[in-house]
Structure 1
Amino acid sequence: MLDPIVEFFTRVFHWIGRGIGMVIAWILWPFVAAGRWYTRRGWIIRGSVGLAVLAIVGFYGYFIWQTQVWTNFDPDYVEKYKLQERGVSAGEQTAGTQGGETRTCGRSAIVDLTADLTDFNVNQNAWISSMLLYKLGFFFVLDWDDTPFLDNKASFQRGINQGVRRSAIELVDALGRVRGTSQIDRDLQNARGALTFDEETWYFGLSPFGPKTPTPSFYRSAIRDLRKFNDRLVSCEAVFDARADNLIQYLDRIANDLGSTSDLLRQRSENYNGGWFDTRADDRFWFAYGQLYAYYGLLRAAGADFEDVIKQRSLGSLWATTEQQFRAALNITPFIISNGREDGWVMPTHLATMGFYILRARSNLVELRQVLDR
């Protein structure tokens, strides 16, 4: 009585197995054909082809290694600066001789963090976005950002760079000069120009055609200019205008930047519900994470640079709470980014979670701004 049922399932599994076998054979056919061609060639051709294959494997191996190893990644990286022990605002004179010939002023933590975050991106790690294999994409067909792998570090680095660029702009326009009538600092201006350079330039390009200076070289020059400015600031040869209105403007810029990112997360979360299969969700998530990673350190640095302003306005408790909100967001590091439905119970929605933390941090920044503006 059960024989027809058994026979039916036997046929079903037979055809399933046959179909899987045909798919595997179709996938392996080019490699089998290439292997047959290779074995029939002379030793010169085989040696040349072997070296080429070895070079490609090594090239991809290096690329995969660089995308998966995040050297010196540490959400608590700012602790090594011991900013709470400084006790002096940026640009404030701390020592001087009786004749006034030798003076010492407070170093800017914002400038230090801006330089060191860029150093983290391009010296301690390879800058992924301008690597040749990243630009070529997945087998020359798909952009790596459209795949679920090997693009998280690039998005994270671009998020950090977004925060660094914003800080460099504010340093030139407001923080590194006395109000709007003084001269723009040349080192800061050079650093801003370098940091706003295109993120994806390799040694050679097609538009325009010819050799080019790669992106990391520009960012490294920005590091040198930023550190040169800070050295001059310590010697009281440069200016850091640690006024309340400058701090308000800096907080405004950060809040606006985070507001834009929260909207980016919202659009992806509302319009796509692919769960673990949304290949662009990880890009959005790690870009936002990189921004928060940078702004957490820069906010801590601003607290040190504007120490006197914070004390005068009795902002210590609120400032500490804001820093804690940024740090709490950095605890979200899922192994696989999922963009499920907000009311779903199988696949989580990491984009909505990150957006929630960003809005919490942003609301604290807005509150800080309101207190400062009273």
Structure 2
Amino acid sequence: MFDPVIEFFERIFNALGRGIGVVISFLLWPFVALAGWYRRRGFLLKAIVGGILVVFVGLYGYFFWQTQVWSGFDPDYPAKREIMAVTPGAQQADGTCAPSAMVSVTSDLIDFNVNENAWISSMILYKAGLFGVDWDHTPFFDNKAAFQRGVNQAIRRTTVEFVDTLGRVRGTSQVDGDLQDARGAMQFDEYTWYLSWPFLPKTPTPSFYRSAIADLAAFNTRLENCSAIYDARTDNLVQFLDRIASDVGSTSAILRDRSENYNGGWFDTRADDRFWFSYGQLYGYYGILKATREDFRDVVAQRNLGQLWDDMDEQLSAALKIQPFIISNGNESGWIMPTHLATMGFYVLRFRSNLVEIRGILDR
């Protein structure tokens, strides 16, 4: 009675098996052909080709390791910092002046990006892509790169504010040289390797970012020696929060566009880099804004912003707890595939709302 049904399903599974076998054979054919060609060559040519293959295997092994292992990653890293007790630039009991927590955290984030971890976006194999396809357009090996670029976006925004407002008096005094050098280094292209077309030697991206660490450290040292300016005024804080709100507002628009127009679920190959860029941006701003509260402690106390700032920190902390193994961009009304982009977009908007609320109180 059930024999025809059983035979029907057997035929289906046999056909699927043959189809999968054909696909696998097609994918493996170039490697099988190369192995056959290699076996027929002489010893010298085998040694040369084998050496090249060993180099490529080593490079890809290093690339795989660096993209999968996130050294020093800790969403709760701001809570583990020692909190400064004095406003930056203010003289302390020992005669020195207090350094800036914002400058210190920004420097630590750069160090996390390029020293504790390899800078993925300028690695030669990342630039080469998957058989010429940009890694950002595949589901593989791009999450850490997108996260690092998100952190870098927060760093860039902050270094601009150091130069334009915080490191000078009311924007009319001379620009601080160390801060200007740090800003210039952080604006450098994120994708530069040691060579550029047409194969001219270049200073790679991580070297520029490492120089910014030294510039920021030099500024903080001068600040401790009471020979630099740090202007922690209310209007400077208002401007900084405005710029961050604009920055994350742009990110929210990108998330919304991807979420609304590309409902590919687990198969949306661009959802992961959109998600992790946003995550990295919030990761960077979480630490920077914790430090901002320290640097502007007098302003926060005078305007009674403590509770609002705590709420903003809680929003950022909650957003950084979202760490799905696979990023899905499903339909918001769907019930099988989740919509991680819409969830992240919600937290980004809540964070932006907190910024706008604090800014409104400061502007009264």
Which residue in 1 is equivalent to 2:116?
A: 124
| Residues 77-109 of structure 1: per-residue CA shift (max 9 Å, x gap) | 1122222xx22111112246xxxxxx4111100
Task: Give the stretch that moved more between structures: 319-328 or 233-242.
Answer: 319-328
Q: 1:273 to 1:7 in 2, by over 3 A?
A: closer
Q: CA deviation at 1:33?
A: 2.1
1:158 aligns with 2:149: yes
Q: Of residues 267, 283, 303 in structure 2, which corresponds to 1:293?
A: 283
- How far apart, in 2, do the equivalents of 1:107 and 1:218 lie? 23
Task: Give the stretch that moved more between structures: 45-54 or 151-160.
Answer: 45-54
- How far apart, in 1, do the equivalents of 2:138 and 2:14 lie? 33
Which residue in 1 is equivalent to 2:88?
A: 90
Aligned amino acid, residue 220 of structure 1:
R
Q: CA deviation at 1:5?
A: 5.6
1:327 aligns with 2:317: yes
Percent identity of the aligned residues? 66
- How far apart, in 1, do the equivalents of 2:313 and 2:19 lie? 57
Superposed, 1:96-107 pairs within 5 Å as 103-107=95-99
- How far apart, in 2, do the equivalents of 1:3 and 1:75 lie? 58
- How far apart, in 2, do the equivalents of 1:2 and 1:230 lie? 81
Aligned amino acid, residue 318 of structure 2:
A
- How far apart, in 2, do the equivalents of 1:318 and 1:3 lie? 70
Superposed, 1:181-200 pairs within 5 Å as 181-200=172-191
Q: Is the 8 A contact 1:202 1:212 kept in 2?
A: yes
Superposed, 1:266-345 pairs within 5 Å as 266-345=256-335
1:67 aligns with 2:67: yes
Q: CA deviation at 1:175?
A: 0.4
Q: 1:136 to 1:235 in 2, by over 3 A?
A: same
1:357 aligns with 2:347: yes
TM-score, with structure 2 as normaliser? 0.96
1:108 aligns with 2:106: no
- How far apart, in 1, do the equivalents of 2:17 and 2:215 lie? 64
Across the aligned residues of Structure 1 and Structure 2, the Cα RMSD in angstroms comes to 1.6
Q: Of residues 168, 172, 187 in structure 1, which corresponds to 2:159?
A: 168
Which residue in 1 is equivalent to 2:24?
A: 24
Q: 1:261 to 1:40 in 2, by over 3 A?
A: same
Task: Give the stretch that moved more between structures: 72-81 or 171-180.
Answer: 72-81
- How far apart, in 1, do the equivalents of 2:72 and 2:167 lie? 29
Superposed, 1:49-64 pairs within 5 Å as 49-64=49-64
SS at match of 1:273: coil
Q: Is the 8 A contact 1:91 1:242 kept in 2?
A: no
| Residues 287-335 of structure 1: per-residue CA shift (max 9 Å, x gap) | 0000000000010000000111111111111111111111111111111
TM-score, with structure 1 as normaliser? 0.94
Q: Of residues 122, 130, 133 in structure 2, which corresponds to 1:142?
A: 133
- How far apart, in 2, do the equivalents of 1:10 and 1:186 lie? 75
Number of corresponding residues? 364
Aligned amino acid, residue 338 of structure 2:
P
Q: CA deviation at 1:190?
A: 0.3
Q: Which runs of 5+ in 2 are unaligned?
A: none
Which residue in 1 is equivalent to 2:125?
A: 133
- How far apart, in 1, do the equivalents of 2:309 and 2:224 lie? 26
Q: CA deviation at 1:13?
A: 4.5
Aligned amino acid, residue 22 of structure 2:
M
- How far apart, in 2, do the equivalents of 1:293 and 1:332 lie? 12
- How far apart, in 1, do the equivalents of 2:7 and 2:219 lie? 81
- How far apart, in 2, do the equivalents of 1:19 and 1:309 lie? 68
- How far apart, in 1, do the equivalents of 2:299 and 2:161 lie? 18
Which residue in 2 is equivalent to 1:99?
A: none
1:264 aligns with 2:254: yes
| Residues 340-367 of structure 1: per-residue CA shift (max 9 Å, x gap) | 0011110010011001111111111111
Which residue in 2 is equivalent to 1:227?
A: 217
Q: 1:164 to 1:7 in 2, by over 3 A?
A: closer
Aligned amino acid, residue 34 of structure 1:
L
| Residues 23-48 of structure 1: per-residue CA shift (max 9 Å, x gap) | 33333322222222222222222222
Q: 1:353 to 1:136 in 2, by over 3 A?
A: same
Aligned amino acid, residue 173 of structure 1:
D
Q: 1:54 to 1:310 in 2, by over 3 A?
A: same
Aligned amino acid, residue 163 of structure 1:
A
Q: Which runs of 5+ in 1 are unaligned?
A: 97-102
Which residue in 2 is equivalent to 1:100?
A: none
- How far apart, in 1, do the equivalents of 2:245 and 2:328 lie? 26
Q: CA deviation at 1:12?
A: 4.6
